[in-house]
Amino acid sequence: MRILSAILLLACVFAAAGETATVAAKRTVEYPWMSVARWDQMHDGIVKRGKDGKVDVVFLGDSITEGWGGAGRAVWEKNYTPLNAANFGIGGDMTQQVLWRITEGKELDGISPKAVVMMIGTNNFGIGGHKPDDVVKGIQVLIETIQKKLPNTKILLLGIFPRDPSPTAGVRKSITAVNEQIAKWENGKTLHYLDIGPKLLQPDGTLSKEIMPDFLHLSPKGYEIWAESIQPLLTELMK
């Protein structure tokens, strides 16, 4: 059974690897952890959330962002429900899926949030097989698209969180390469950058299961760190 699951996962990875980080692409790959039908359902739910009521803050991203509704639920309800926040995270998404969601998928239509908090790109490495420069370009297109659709909204762009327990892992180096590039886009006005990755790490640079049980997704403690880390800047952006 484990061998079959591994084969299915590899098939999914190879299928997704042909996608380009900068070209909007609806989810078409059936993952063991999420069907395309489920992805469609989640996207529809996000569109409905925008139509249902006031949205002052949007959290945009992949499964780590989606996790605000799981392991991070208590932290979300305490910190972000009072801010009229909306969770626009869907597991497994890469830059191109998020781009589709905010263009053809119209997830940002009809809302005028004060701030968008975005963290995206880790799946481009793990699933998409993209190089750091590809991921940077994908994030850049997303930023430009958000700015065009929401010209009065401030963007808080987060550095990609560290993954893999080892500080010398290849994916860590790729993440650092991306974060170093996107950090340069900070302008102190409409676009703000923040890398909270170091706060998720142990002093020796490793990740602990207390913060990331699978060395990718956050625990409740991890979401507490996330919320505490962005609170001062997000409060300023909400004014």
How many other C-beta atoms are found inside a 10 Å radius of the C-beta of residue 161?
25
Count CA atoms closer than 13 A to 184's CA, side-chain side. 7
> Does 217 qualify as catalytic in the annotation?
yes
Cα 225 to Cα 39, 75, 191, distances in angstroms: 28, 10, 22
> Does 133 qualify as catalytic in the annotation?
no
Using CA atoms, how far apart are residues 59 and 66, in angstroms rounded to an integer?
Answer: 9
Residue of 52, 109, 133, 214 marked catalytic:
214
Residue of 62, 63, 134, 195 marked catalytic:
63
> Does 62 qualify as catalytic in the annotation?
no
**Length, in residues, of the chain:** 239
Residue of 43, 130, 192, 217 marked catalytic:
217
Sheet strand arrangement including 154-158: 85-89, 57-61, 115-119, 154-158, 191-194
**Catalytic positions:** 63, 214, 217
